[in-house]
Amino acid sequence: MKEVARHVVLPFFAVLAFFGCEKTPAPPSASPPATPSPAAANLASPATSPAGESTGDAEKTLHIFCWSEYIPQQIVEAFSEESGLKVSVETYSSNEEMLAKLFAGGGNYDIIQPSEYVIEGLIKEGLLTPIDHARIPNMKNLAPEFTNMSFDPGNKYSVPYMAGTVGIVVNSELVQDDIKGYNDVFQEKFAKNIVVLDDAREIVSWGLESLGIPVNEVSDENLAKVKPVLEKWLPLVRVFDSDSPKTALLNGDVALGIVWAGEGAILLNEDQKFKWIVPADGAHLFVDSLAIPKSAKHVQNAELFINYVLRPNVSAKISEAFPYLNPNVAARELLTPAQRNNPASFPTADQLANMQTFKDVGEQATKIDELVTSLKAQ
Amino acid sequence: MTADGAASSQAAAIFKRRPGLVAWLVLAPLLAWLILFVIVPTIMLVLLSLGEQKGLGTVHFTFTLKNYVRALDWTWLKVLVISVGYALVTTGICMVIGFPAAYFIGRSSEPLRNVLLTLVMIPFWTSFLIRTYAWITILSKEGVLNALLVSARIIPEPIGILYTPFAAVLGLVYNFLPFMILPIYTSVERLDSAVIEAAYDLGAGPLRAFSQVIIPLTQPGIVAGALLVFVPSIAMFAITNLMGGGDPPTIGDVIYKQFTSGRNQPFGAALGCLLLLIFFLSLWITRRQRAE
């Protein structure tokens, strides 16, 4: 009897293993190639498309709604070619813009790319589709510190795409001082020589950090504490720009600024004179994830795409175009040493530990906006 | 004046006749366009301004006036005053530059006139955003203008022109100047030179001829031009942000932020309604002036 059981069970496991293989990625994409060059070469090569990935929805379309300047067109085209899906991409330039379109009955999006605090809110309101982890085996490529984050425990609804920080860029030809934190930036001698992000929540978070207050504690009381700080800071600013703060720095119109790390990384690549400084006071870490809205019509195609961008070689390509903090460890190994050692793209573990992510602050967002507007117009 | 009066009463009589089916059919596309893209959005804007935003972005229609109460706070009125200031300065400069240009074009010979008019309109062939970015490369510290001035030894070192209110006004004037020139040009073109000659014959100096004959006769063009420049430049924020560095904030920018990061669409709508009110007010003032 035992003999019989063994004969039945063994083939059973063999069959299981076989089907299991179909669901998990084939080795080529799991273990990164030894040389970094293939990252560029075989985006659409069949070796990287295991059989398990090829099942999608009956309807061969996918509608992506993502940040502008975040998913390279080349990646979208390569995915479309490989999967045979017709992919359309629409972009937005702020989380709130995306939400507005989503709420306006945008049932047409299969993938959205919200930041952490928006994911939290969307989950709370039940607006996301849970993700089938079995269909996204490449999730194993993600660094452990970027999975199971507080805004989505267990990654039930979202998969990190890129992360990044906010930090200080200094043009060392114009500024010799040792800049360490926000207070060093906002000095009288740099008046009208500073670019900052045109983002009220960011600006308020710098003030909070300089006072040692956690960035998510935006009570009226704390906002009142931040007010005198910002009152001194904001008149010193020359340019408020969230879209392309690097322009003012590149053209020499300002000497220093507080910008997105992705922009900072580009500046560092552009010219040695730019230095990246992670504020000693602490900084904001943002994580933009891919998620599937409840109203999505092509959930399986969306999962196919998510799994695709998590491939090491694809993710490395994205890093090359937009040098943010890539949560994909397998992809990091494919980057050139210069890319990997860019301090703006990849902060050290110590620096990361000192960073805070934003939580949804609800209606306080209105007060934050009012505070900053009134101080800008003073 | 009497001929004019007769003409207008005749026109009124035509208007009193009920339009036929054909007239309605001809008008239908325009009416549909107006209803769909002007009236309906305005009603939506007003309704939105009476609501409240909850949570991530859903708007509840509570018919509250609190957005308007908040909009009248000095924080926002100040922004509005700044924007109106920008718009007034822009309109003034456009008028000073635009009138002589339009007058010259209107008085020049036919072939030259066509060339000049084309030159005025050529910038419209490119998106204003691209033209604004071009200004950034011209005005920036390491830009074309500074390089020229330094190499010509006019200034010892590059000066910061970009990201100042001056640059913002420059951008506004540059973009809206054609809107001033074109309506004035049409007025100037219709201006009968015999009238000006008559003024001279009757002993008026150039100044008097200009102020008492030319200006009143081209006034419709001037008023139309002023409106066409003033109204859009109040709400314009792309240029003031890109060339002025977003400092000080303008009302267009503040409204935009209410719909995005400020997360208060109803409040943005209330500010938008205030702006509409200003537009109606300026229309009404110019109307009254014309009536006088």
What's residue B16's pLDDT?
Answer: 61
pLDDT below 50 — which residues of chain B?
1-3
Residue A367 touches chain B, beta carbons under 8 Å: no
State the sign of the Cα–Cα–Cα–Cα dihedral A207, A209, A213, A219: positive
Say yes or no: A376 contacts chain B, CB-CB below 8 A.
yes
Residue positions counted in chain B: 292
Measured CA to CA, the distance from residue B289 to residue B286 in angstroms comes to 5
Q: Give the pLDDT of residue A68.
A: 87
Residue A54's pLDDT is what? 52
Instruction: Provide the residue-wise pLDDT of chain A in tens; the chain has 378 residues.
Output: 444 444 444 344 443 343 333 333 333 333 333 333 434 444 444 444 444 445 678 789 999 999 988 999 999 999 999 999 999 999 988 888 888 888 877 658 999 999 999 999 899 889 999 999 999 999 999 999 899 898 999 999 999 999 999 999 999 999 999 999 999 999 999 999 999 999 999 999 999 999 999 999 999 999 999 999 999 999 999 999 988 899 999 999 999 999 999 999 999 999 999 999 999 998 899 999 999 999 999 999 999 999 999 999 999 999 999 999 999 999 999 999 999 999 999 999 889 888 999 998 888 888 999 999 999 987
DSSP codes of every residue in B242-261: HHHTT-S--HHHHHHHHHTT
Nearest by Cα to B234 from B282, B275, B270: B275
Cα B189–chain centre separation = 22
Task: Identify the closest residue of chain A to B144 by CA–CA distance.
Answer: A251
The torsion angle over the Cα atoms of residues A94, A96, A100 and A101, rounded to 10 degrees, is: 30
Mutant choice from B260, B264, B265 vs A, greatest count of A C-beta within 10 A: B260
Reduce the DSSP state of residue A233 to 3 states and report it.
helix
Report which DSSP code applies to A257.
E
d(Cα A315, Cα B93) in Å, to the nearest integer? 52
Distance linking the first and last C-alpha atoms of chain A: 88
H helix intervals, chain A = 2-23, 27-30, 38-41, 73-83, 95-103, 116-124, 182-185, 200-210, 220-233, 246-250, 261-270, 299-309, 312-321, 329-332, 337-340, 349-353, 364-376
In Å, how far is A366's CA from the nearest CA of chain B?
A: 5
Nearest to A238 among B57, B163, B254 (CB): B163
pTM: predicted TM-score of the whole model, two decimal places: 0.82
Please tell me the number of Cα atoms within 13 Å of B57 on its side-chain side.
Answer: 21
Rounded to a whole number of angstroms, the distance from the CA of B77 to the nearest CA of chain A is 10
One-letter amino acid identity for A72? P
Distance (Å, rounded) from C-alpha A270 to C-alpha A317? 19
Contact B87, B234 (CB under 8 A): yes
Q: What is the ipTM of this complex?
A: 0.84
Q: What share of chain A is helix, strand, coil (3-state, %, to 5)?
A: 45, 15, 35
Q: Which A residues, 253 through 292, put their C-beta within 8 Å of a C-beta on chain B?
A: 253-254
- Dihedral sign computed on CA atoms, order A113, A119, A124, A129: positive
Taking the C-alpha atoms of residue A226 and residue A223, their distance in angstroms, rounded to an integer, is 5
Distances (CA, A) of B262 to A105, A249, B68: 21, 27, 16
Residues ≥6 apart with Cβ < 8 Å to B86: B165, B168, B169, B172, B233, B234, B240, B250
Strands A237-240 and A194-196: parallel
Q: Coil, helix or strand for B156?
A: coil
pLDDT digits (tens, 9 = 90+) for B167-195: 999 999 999 999 999 999 999 999 988 99
Under a CB-based contact definition with an 8 Å cutoff, are residues A271 and A95 in contact?
A: no
Residues of B in contact with A252 (CB under 8 A): 140-142, 158
